[in-house]
Amino acid sequence: MNSSLRVRRFAAFAWLAPVALAAALTAGLTAPAQAQGYNTLTGAAPLVIGHRGASGYRPEHTLEAYRLAIQLGADYIEPDLVMTRDGHLIARHEPMLGGTTNVASVFGPERMSTKMVDGVSTTDYFASDFTLAEIRTLRAIQPNPNRPQEFNGLYAIPTLEEIISLAQAQSAATGRQVGIYPEVKHSTFHDGIFGPRVFENKLIGTLHASYGNSGNAPVFIQSFEVSNLQYMNTLTDIRLVQLVDANDVNPDGSLDPTAPYGAPYDVVAAGGTLTFAQMLTAPGLGFIKTYADGIGPWKPYLVKTVADGIDRDGDGVITIKDRRVDGSTGVIEAAHAAGLLVHAYTFRNDASGYGFADPRAEMAYYMNLGVDGVFTDFPDTGVAAVASVPEPGTVALLLTGLGLVGVAARRRQRG
């Protein structure tokens, strides 16, 4: 039911006696929020996705970070996945372990190697060179010096199965469905080490074992690559999301497509020319719709902000927070017209607030435009943003209700 229908239905109540009218209004105003009212694709409330867990507060991709995200109200927790030498899927943002674990203090430099990661020669400790038993001896560290350091060395590296168990146990304990949002990291890289689609087959097999093969499962699978999503679309009804990246955002608000961030790496490796920017045009979105259920774009693709040199937050320095907000680029609307969900990344209280000094206001802005979900390192701020977004249907109902109360009040005065 859209809001105009709802208004008409309430207008039909105008003949009711004031007492009945008040009862009807009270029922309407205290009823649970209707699922049709937000500007999202389905009208449902936008999702809060705990990006790498509550990674603003705990070392990322640990059970403790995911558990805190759930406690703070996240609808989904987001594990990035990489594969171990013996074929287990574990949660790390990168196949390189050096930046987010104590691996260098547990294993010697002879365990380092040099590999090509999306065309970039990289020397590090790679998860694919370690067994799960070895990785279980590691502990996570906080790579961001401006975030809490007191949890360093305490938390283990979880497997996908452990993350699923946590989400399902927390769903049962809280009565609130908590989903998972796994990302296939560097599919082309993993194909080169383990063989074609070994990673994707393992992922789908694990998810089907826990959730079944269902588009209603509280699961989204995400990737920056294309052909692996197309492949998984032949295996599963679990929802798939095409991530969309860029290198940077220019002062005029346009996106900088510098490699390796301007195009899906599997497309580049195959000699293709499709870019992420092209994928967000109407034809590109139509193409994505042939294999995916949604897009996960970097947020500057959705809202245009311009660096015009004005110190809007008045702190005496010009930062990205001061950028002028020029509104929607039209991508959210075009994606919805194509039937695609839009989950935007990444919202952080302590960084990346293009055009916004207040991270809650930033997320609320995107939610008012209609994003279907936000990836955030600070799920409590995301929950507060959802709560601050006036559900359009509720507002219409409220205004209708106030108008009718006003009519009733005038009648009582006359009487």
Shortest approach of Ca ion to residue 51 CB, angstroms? 7
Strand partners, 183: 80, 222
Amino acid at 271: G
Rg (CA), the chain: 24
Q: Which stretch binds Ca ion (CB under 5 A): 7-15, 311-319, 336-344, 405-413?
A: 311-319
The reply to whether 309 sits near Ca ion by the rule CB under 5 A is no
- Closest listed residue to residue 157, CA positions, set 217, 106, 226: 106
- Closest listed residue to residue 33, CA positions, set 54, 52, 6: 6
Among 60, 64, 75, 80, binds Ca ion (CB under 5 A): 80
The DSSP secondary-structure symbol of 14 reads: G
Token couple for 406: 């006003």
What is the CA angle 337-234-46, rounded to 5? 40
Q: Contact, 320 vs 307, CB < 8 A?
A: yes
Shortest approach of Ca ion to residue 311 CB, angstroms? 4
CB closer to Ca ion, 130 vs 224: 224
Q: Which stretch binds Ca ion (CB under 5 A): 206-214, 267-275, 292-300, 313-321?
A: 313-321
Q: Which stretch binds Ca ion (CB under 5 A): 75-83, 124-132, 165-173, 284-292?
A: 75-83
The reply to whether 311 sits near Ca ion by the rule CB under 5 A is yes
The reply to whether 315 sits near Ca ion by the rule CB under 5 A is yes
Amino acid at 143: P
Shortest approach of Ca ion to residue 214 CB, angstroms? 23
Token couple for 231: 């492949």
CB closer to Ca ion, 28 vs 382: 382
Strand partners, 350: none
- Closest listed residue to residue 193, CA positions, set 115, 107, 81: 115
The reply to whether 129 sits near Ca ion by the rule CB under 5 A is no
Under 8 Å CB-to-CB from 109, ≥6 apart: which residues?
none
How many CA atoms, within 13 angstroms, populate the side-chain half-sphere of residue 158?
24
Shortest approach of Ca ion to residue 94 CB, angstroms? 10
CA distance 401 to 25: 6
Shortest approach of Ca ion to residue 312 CB, angstroms? 6
Interface of this chain with Ca ion, residues 178 to 207, rule: CB under 5 A: 183
The reply to whether 310 sits near Ca ion by the rule CB under 5 A is no
CB closer to Ca ion, 191 vs 322: 322
CB closer to Ca ion, 124 vs 322: 322
CB closer to Ca ion, 6 vs 321: 321
Shortest approach of Ca ion to residue 177 CB, angstroms? 21
CB closer to Ca ion, 80 vs 200: 80
Q: Which stretch binds Ca ion (CB under 5 A): 122-130, 147-155, 272-280, 308-316?
A: 308-316
Shortest approach of Ca ion to residue 356 CB, angstroms? 11
SS3 16: coil
Token couple for 412: 């009582």
Q: Which stretch binds Ca ion (CB under 5 A): 53-61, 161-169, 176-184, 203-211?
A: 176-184
Interface of this chain with Ca ion, residues 319 to 358, rule: CB under 5 A: 322
The reply to whether 313 sits near Ca ion by the rule CB under 5 A is yes
Q: Contact, 72 vs 403, CB < 8 A?
A: no
CA distance 32 to 43: 14
The reply to whether 245 sits near Ca ion by the rule CB under 5 A is no
Shortest approach of Ca ion to residue 314 CB, angstroms? 7
What is the CA angle 343-348-352, rounded to 5? 95
CB closer to Ca ion, 86 vs 311: 311
Q: Total residues contacting Ca ion (rule CB under 5 A)?
A: 6
Kindly write out the interface string for residues 132-171 of this chain, putting x where it contacts Ca ion by CB under 5 A and - elsewhere. ----------------------------------------
- Residue 327 phi/psi, 5-degree rounding, is 95, -170
Under 8 Å CB-to-CB from 359, ≥6 apart: which residues?
347, 348, 349, 353, 378, 381
Q: Which residues bind Ca ion (CB under 5 A)?
A: 80, 183, 311, 313, 315, 322
